[in-house]
Amino acid sequence: MRTAAIAALAVCAACAGEARGEPPVASPAARLAALVPADDARRAIAIGRGGEVYEPDGNGAWIRRLPCTTATPVIAAGRAGAAIVALGDGVIYRLAANGWSAIRLMQHGKAILGAGPRALAAVGRQLFALDPLARGEPTRLAQAPAAIVAIGAGPTAAVIATESALFRLAGNRLVALPGAPAAPRPISDRWWLIDRAAADLNTGRLTRWPDDLRIGPAAAGPGDALAAVGRRGDGLVLVTIAAGKLALDPLGITGEAVGVVVDRAGRAVVALDDGRLAMRGPAGWTTTTVVDEPAASHPGAAPATSK
């Protein structure tokens, strides 16, 4: 099949009403789906289920200023170079200054979006890089022997999974990795989660979770680290693995986590599906809620209405 990338019409939702000078207001209906990483955790960007984009203001708040949404509900997001990409119902979206546009990788088939610092995507057996675009199109990297079901990528490397095997990307070739675990969940090219443990593909080491811990979202941390959010009883716990050591840090809150970012300074941000963000700083954990900035005023006559 011919590969093509088609920038589709951005799907933008117009803001209702006119601004009346109000400050940003909490968005009680916000439902978060993902957290886009950044080198400084305080600059991570939260993405709502409808494609709402909540950006940090530098003062501890995450504000939605761009009144745009996606055509399908978002289930994952990541970075493709300097760009933000998201996945919803097999569609890859790319964020621009005026909103989201859809990227078609192939003429037919639903896409999957990889996990890790670099966003890769696949349709069927075909693996694509979403950065940089070549003449506006994603770059085809390799073809797997069977349909690709999961991707874990680092800044310069990647590992993919089919139903029965793992492969490491070497140039434009896929090299089989021995001893593929059953039903792995990718976090990066190095870290994959399996039943009750984290697998370090570089060293072959398994780090097992405590029996009472249920792991939710996870992400590659700085250096060789892994960060995840677990549930212990009714409370959430930040879980990190660094230098072979497992550490647990209770957040002091309950809820359903959907994303986590940890940086080299030890700062962390955890996104919850109900619109809250938990932040770890020098003084411990604090919590905020994403907000909507009122729409800018548009002078002139009101829009015509039909009768």
Nearest to 104 by CA among 187, 221, 1, 6: 6
How many helices (DSSP H) and strands (DSSP E) are in the chain? 0, 30
User: How far is the CA of 77 from the CAs of 72, 84, 99, 125, 141, in angstroms?
Assistant: 13, 7, 15, 21, 20
* Tens-binned pLDDT, residue by residue, of the chain (307 aa): 333 333 333 343 333 333 334 555 555 567 999 999 999 999 999 999 999 999 999 999 999 999 999 999 999 999 999 999 999 999 999 999 999 999 989 988 999 999 999 999 999 999 999 997 777 789 999 999 999 999 999 998 999 999 889 999 998 899 999 876 666 899 999 999 988 999 999 998 999 999 999 999 999 999 899 999 999 998 999 999 999 899 999 999 999 999 999 999 999 999 999 999 999 999 999 999 999 986 554 444 443 434 4
Q: Rounded CA gap, 203 and 198, in Å?
A: 12
* β-sheet bridge partners, residue 201: none
pTM of the predicted model over 0.75: yes
Predicted confidence at residue 24, as pLDDT, reads: 57
> Which CATH number fits the domain 29-292, given the four candidates 2.130.10.10, 3.20.20.70, 3.30.1120.80, 1.10.287.3510?
2.130.10.10
